[in-house]
Amino acid sequence: MPTTAAGHDGIRVDRVSVTYPNGLTAVRDASFALDPGTICALVGVNGSGKSTLFKAIMGFVRPSAGQVRLAGLPVAAALKRNIVAYVPQSEDVDWNFPVLVEDVVTMGRYGHMNLFRIASREDRRKVDAALERVGMTAFRKRQIGELSGGQKKRVFLARALAQEGRIVLLDEPFTGVDVTTEAAIVALLRELRAAGQVMLVSTHDLGSVPDYCDQVVLLDRTVVAAGPTATVFTRANLERTFGGALRNFSLGGAALHQDADRRSLTVLTDDERPLVFYGDDGRDGADRAPDDTTGRS
């Protein structure tokens, strides 16, 4: 079986449009393809269609046009085979639902169990390992609603790990988490990438994207640009994607330095960790991805 994005083993979104019953077309003619062993950021302003795209990939909404293929399969077949794991946005979860941490992680194994959902020794071992990997073993008997935001994120990540899906979708995994948890999540994503999994991560945390994402999809109802972070995650493309919704300020020359360094500094932020471009003069850097990020401790 081919293993390129043009082939069958990753995520392939082909000219997908999604129109809600109220007539709003939230995603229009979106196309991109991701190979196994990839972490891809999905970036766009609030309302640009990121969650809608996730819902289309998860089969929660049906595209009005185009198609999604996951590991070469239509969405329904991929879900049936347990190929796709999903880490939802916190707002999409009912935290009052009385369920223990270990039960949430065990749900990741449901697709591997028989009709009666009786966990085997193997299932229990995978749940234990997933809890251990995200550092939540000590919390396994706690009600999910009693956890902090970052702890909840870790639990859903553990559920995705226990599921062992080759495709992992993460909807804003860094929102409301501290720097330590963010670093732990990024480390885990890197491990999964090394193991050949493909991850699509929606995020407003622009400054971190070049750190851990090798691909980027910039979305504004449709795909503005998609491809390697090094060539696509540029100031010019971000300004096209966000329009006036991006905080953007540049400093150069005397406004920035007291020495002879002529380089300017451009800061772009979508309200979470800012992205910083270093240019040679006041306008440079518009077409280059950043060499490095700042703000990361």
CB of 258 to ligand ATP, least distance (A): 39
The torsion angles phi and psi of 11, rounded to 5 degrees, stand at -105, 130
The torsion angles phi and psi of 51, rounded to 5 degrees, stand at -65, -35
- Please state, in angstroms and as integers, the Cα–Cα distance from residue 43 to each residue in 13, 53, 54, 244, following that order: 16, 12, 12, 15
Among the listed residues 13, 35, 38, 50, the single contact to ligand ATP using CB under 6 A: 50
Listed in sequence order, the residues at least 6 apart from 194 whose beta carbon sits closer than 8 Å to its beta carbon are 37
Beta bridge partners of 226: 217
CB of 120 to ligand ATP, least distance (A): 37
Nearer to ligand ATP, 127 or 275 (CB): 275
Quote the crossing angle between the two packed helices 149-163 and 121-133, to the nearest 10°. Answer: 140
Does 91 engage in binding with ligand ATP (CB under 6 A)? no
Question: Which residue do the tokens 């979104």 mark?
Answer: 13
Nearer to ligand ATP, 91 or 291 (CB): 91
Nearer to ligand ATP, 45 or 189 (CB): 45
Does 47 engage in binding with ligand ATP (CB under 6 A)? yes
Chain positions 51 to 70 lying near ligand ATP, rule: CB under 6 A, are 51-52
Question: Which residue do the tokens 């194994």 mark?
Answer: 109
Chain positions 9 to 38 lying near ligand ATP, rule: CB under 6 A, are 20, 22, 24, 26
Q: Which of 18, 181, 167 shows the shortest CA–CA distance to 90?
A: 181
Among the listed residues 10, 36, 44, 63, the single contact to ligand ATP using CB under 6 A: 44
CB of 282 to ligand ATP, least distance (A): 31
Beta bridge partners of 237: none
The torsion angles phi and psi of 20, rounded to 5 degrees, stand at -75, 160
By CB under 6 A, which span of 41-49, 80-88, 159-167, 190-198 interacts with ligand ATP?
41-49
Count, residues near ligand ATP per rule CB under 6 A: 12
Nearer to ligand ATP, 20 or 97 (CB): 20
Among the listed residues 48, 208, 237, 266, the single contact to ligand ATP using CB under 6 A: 48
Nearer to ligand ATP, 107 or 245 (CB): 245
Evaluate whether 219 touches 41 at the Cβ level (below 8 Å): no
Nearer to ligand ATP, 127 or 224 (CB): 224
- Please state, in angstroms and as integers, the Cα–Cα distance from residue 201 to each residue in 21, 27, 38, 95, 240, following that order: 26, 17, 11, 22, 20
Contacts to ligand ATP by CB under 6 A:
20, 22, 24, 26, 44, 46-52
